[in-house]
Amino acid sequence: MPIYEYECDSCLNHFELQQSMKDEPLQTCPNCGAKVRRIFGLNSVIFKGTGFYCTDTKTKTEPSCPNKESCSACNP
């Protein structure tokens, strides 16, 4: 579940809230009841479980032998 970051303009309460994406965004500060705003920062929404996939699929390939049929190394 993503974690959303909120900040209250009234009491400057800064907090994070884990909620579902289909949940309504929080409207009021749990500290003072004033209106809060959701912050979209670089780390404000953290998706757990999706993430980073390694794209490095490079595999070590041997150069193909030009004389594979008669090569003594290829046909020991």
Q: Is 6 in the site for Zn ion (CB under 5 A)?
A: no
Cα separation, 20 vs 63, whole angstroms: 51
Q: Is 32 in the site for Zn ion (CB under 5 A)?
A: yes
For the beta carbon of residue 8, count every other beta carbon within 10 angstroms. 19
State the Cα angle at 63 between 60 and 67, rounded to 5°.
Answer: 150
Q: Residue 2 has which token pair?
A: 């993503």
Total number of residues that touch Zn ion (CB under 5 A): 8
Nearer Cβ to Zn ion, position 11 or 71? 11
Nearer Cβ to Zn ion, position 25 or 68? 25
Residues near Zn ion (CB under 5 A): 8, 10-11, 13, 29, 31-32, 34
